[in-house]
Structure 1
């Protein structure tokens, strides 16, 4: 049993996200990373919002060209459903236009071609109608004259002409903004089967009829067959279609939707299929520099590759199936095991199993479209581990945004917050400093700490027992009935590095207790314990000793 626990701990360490400032970075020379950085600089928008727009564009361009096979041998589409929750003034439309410029150009070209084709169709149909009337008159005249041979010839000519009626041209357009699921299915059926529901202001969608039939959107995401029964124009049997959702909406719109239809959307698994981001606000923080706007070379290269991928989709008769390399497959299974553990009782995803069950598939799809977009050869079908790791790290941050903005705080996080609040109240009172209340430098004068910078402060520490918490702690963690919840909360604080067991007692510290290395979880990444400082608010420092050796390190608050 002990070996199993050690393996589980090692697995959780392996798959924890690795990033510097809140979001992972793809490799430096990738088209997407370069374009995102240029958009952030030139448009002065948040990194995460730029990335979501870029992924929406890539998903639209690649979904019709590829599918992806998971290590379990299940083949799934590469389409993504993306939701960005941002206030007005965050330049949502400008960011979307930056990454969808090529797609908009292609879609507009399809509209123009369709308009010209419809004009030609009207002319040809008018000529056909005139000819039909003439043949009808010939047929009627022959029938009245009882000339059987002439009647038969006229009938055959009329029948052949009716069969040759010019049909209206189908449109190659694939972008949709304000539509119902049923109309969307119809357009995917008669037009381009690879579509994108795209909007930078999704209020009309979340408050209108477009989400009236969530099951159809779920089926499209799954890659299944959509059946629509219609009395007037016949039934629709849409098979093999692909749909990307790249939606942006204001927080108030999402709040109203969640209040009205959130339970239904969660119950059907609709929201669980989304990668969700609520970007940090940039409004009021931008610096305007006078002078000419720079030529956006990265945008041009990004959109040129988008158009190339779209053209490959048109020219291909069937979708290419991507697979994972062996190292990537091993990492995929590690991620799967991590999610399974966290869906257990008192786990991070215990109350969000719907979301967790779709998370790894979203990671799979995300890694597939990135590989297809960035590869130098269309013959390269193996997704490498580095791409999968980036997709996993990116999806984990999206998962945090999903939990905070759509799912509600998990019971485990609530319990850990309450426990941390209780333990902080047990700390010895310290002097107040900006942004750091109840914290004082508890280090005793010692030669070991002579080199400690003045702006670093160690958090206060206190010992406690389970009996202390069960008798005096938060009500939800008291008594035998809540023993499992208490144990889970302590384990979470331990993973974050703030609690450590010493014999029959526990030590709690405001700063991370580790003397070296990093905690298994970083506060503020996958989850946030608001009572504790974020990982990014702490600094690791270790004093230098003789001969350059380093010992006695630890984590400190950084104060001004």
Structure 2
């Protein structure tokens, strides 16, 4: 495994900008990547916040145009449910305003047009009502005169007139903020059937009645028909509608909601459908700078405008995956299935895991539709799928951290890693602890062959018997054998443990010469060990004492 100078420079830049929480990037020439990078830099907001806003706008524009056929043969909508959790002062409203500019303008224009049409409809309906009263008077007159033929003719005219009652024109409005699921379904039925709930302060939604009927929002996400039966008014069936939620809320609002209704929201599968991000804090770290013309964001909004103004087909176009992408999709599917077994990452999060790959597929279809240059390009390539999988992995990590309890296997892996680090310091009295790393990297010791900003980290060997006797108390004994094996297996997948005969080898940096099956800091985070993006694969020149492998970066 070799890294080019360009790759290393990009990795360093990404690390510095994302401050230890690396969110994936698209190709440099990508329109959405350029807009997100520009917004992050110029607005001085976290990259993940810009990504969430961009995907919300893109989903709103694309959901009316395309569906996606998953490799299993099941076709699903491309709507998304996005939730960004950020404190006041993180520029939620500003970021959302820039990415949704074209959408807001088109919705405002549709609203103005609807108001004009509504006035015309009231005038037309008033004239219709006046004519109806006249016909009713004529019927009454003929009936009073017992002129049956004339009365019958008058009735036929009334019937014909009633059938021609003017109906209000369907509004093109599609953007909503403070509403309830019941009212939302009604508006999607009366207005454009493809809508978006957009708010940068979702306090009213998470603390009000908007989530009183979670099943309706679930049904809309699924793309199924919503049946509304009423006693006082005529019922209806909302069919083939699409709804994207692009919500932002403060942590305190989400905490209150989870305390009051979190169990219900998890139980119904409502929260499992969300992609969650809690961006790193930027308030207090910004510098004074003049805002540029934001040309990339302007191009982004031009593309959104183009998609929303594209003629609607009789049926949505169905996108599919390339053969290579299908193979990768099934790899992800097998991974999720394994992790939903006992001692897996998602054993207690099956609701979330079961929606993760579908969300990945939806996002891949959205990115493909937004970036493509021709409507004839209907196959999603593997690189797009890989990017979206990495993004949803990060969202999964944030879901676990902020909406669900940390899986037991991650807790056990942290306890085991803590024990092994202590064991390493006993087995190697010259091992460096975390406080000494920086001074060791900058000193002139006998192992200076390594670059001054890299260290190998602590190392230890152990046996299963040793861990059962002296390891973390929660993992000792026969009763906890399954938990111990699960923790070891997770650290193996992260690349920090390898079996060698009857013994195991542990290393603080990754042991492997290739990328591990799991990367620490993506789906799962073992806090006792360095994150994947805090390590670098280094290849020594000939004659150096160190071998090629992963080493921990120090600042």
TM-score between both structures, scaled by the size of structure 1: 0.90
Supply the distance in 2 between the matched residues of 1:542 and 1:550 (Cα, whole angstroms): 11
SS at match of 2:435: coil
SS at match of 1:436: helix
| 1:194 Cα offset (Å) | 0.6
| 1:388 Cα offset (Å) | 1.1
468, 493, 501: which is aligned to 2:499?
501
**1:320 equivalent in alignment to 2:317:** yes
Supply the distance in 1 between the matched residues of 2:519 and 2:436 (Cα, whole angstroms): 21
**Is this contact kept in 1: 2:460–2:507, CA < 8 A?**
yes
**1:553 equivalent in alignment to 2:552:** no
Q: How does 1:468-487 map to 2 (within 5 A)?
A: 468-487=466-485
Supply the distance in 2 between the matched residues of 1:550 and 1:119 (Cα, whole angstroms): 84
Structure 1 residues 135 and 66: alpha-carbon distance in aligned structure 2, compared to 1, 3 A threshold? same
Structure 1 residues 495 and 436: alpha-carbon distance in aligned structure 2, compared to 1, 3 A threshold? farther
516, 524, 528: which is aligned to 2:525?
528
Residue-by-residue CA offset, 1:223-276 (whole Å, 9 max, x unaligned): 111111111111121111111111111111111111111111111111111111
Partner of 1:163: 163
SS at match of 1:195: strand
The farther-off stretch of 266-275 and 496-505 is 496-505
Supply the distance in 2 between the matched residues of 1:554 and 1:300 (Cα, whole angstroms): 44
Partner of 1:35: 35
Supply the distance in 2 between the matched residues of 1:368 and 1:558 (Cα, whole angstroms): 36
Supply the distance in 1 between the matched residues of 2:344 and 2:498 (Cα, whole angstroms): 19
**Is this contact kept in 2: 1:440–1:458, CA < 8 A?**
no
Q: How does 1:43-58 map to 2 (within 5 A)?
A: 43-58=43-58
Supply the distance in 2 between the matched residues of 1:242 and 1:287 (Cα, whole angstroms): 41
Residue-by-residue CA offset, 1:209-230 (whole Å, 9 max, x unaligned): 1111111111111111111111
Q: Which runs of 5+ in 2 are unaligned?
A: 1-9, 16-21
**Is this contact kept in 2: 1:85–1:248, CA < 8 A?**
yes
**Is this contact kept in 2: 1:499–1:506, CA < 8 A?**
yes
| 1:438 Cα offset (Å) | 9.1
Structural RMSD (CA):
2.5
Structure 1 residues 61 and 550: alpha-carbon distance in aligned structure 2, compared to 1, 3 A threshold? farther
Partner of 1:465: 463
Count, aligned residues:
534
Q: How does 1:225-244 map to 2 (within 5 A)?
A: 225-244=225-244
Supply the distance in 2 between the matched residues of 1:177 and 1:154 (Cα, whole angstroms): 48
Structure 1 residues 287 and 440: alpha-carbon distance in aligned structure 2, compared to 1, 3 A threshold? closer
**Is this contact kept in 1: 2:62–2:369, CA < 8 A?**
yes
**1:413 equivalent in alignment to 2:410:** yes
Supply the distance in 2 between the matched residues of 1:477 and 1:495 (Cα, whole angstroms): 19
| 1:557 Cα offset (Å) | 4.0
Supply the distance in 2 between the matched residues of 1:396 and 1:436 (Cα, whole angstroms): 31
Residue-by-residue CA offset, 1:409-436 (whole Å, 9 max, x unaligned): 1111000011112222323377999963
Partner of 2:214: 214
**Is this contact kept in 2: 1:31–1:302, CA < 8 A?**
yes
Residue-by-residue CA offset, 1:258-302 (whole Å, 9 max, x unaligned): 11111111111111111111111111111112x4x3222212211
**Is this contact kept in 2: 1:413–1:529, CA < 8 A?**
yes
| 1:182 Cα offset (Å) | 1.1
**Is this contact kept in 2: 1:441–1:460, CA < 8 A?**
no
Supply the distance in 2 between the matched residues of 1:446 and 1:366 (Cα, whole angstroms): 50
| 1:542 Cα offset (Å) | 4.2
**1:78 equivalent in alignment to 2:75:** no
| 1:164 Cα offset (Å) | 2.1
Q: How does 1:137-216 map to 2 (within 5 A)?
A: 137-216=137-216
| 1:24 Cα offset (Å) | 1.2
**Is this contact kept in 2: 1:277–1:401, CA < 8 A?**
yes
SS at match of 1:407: coil
**1:382 equivalent in alignment to 2:379:** yes
Residue-by-residue CA offset, 1:512-544 (whole Å, 9 max, x unaligned): 334x44433332222111112223333444432
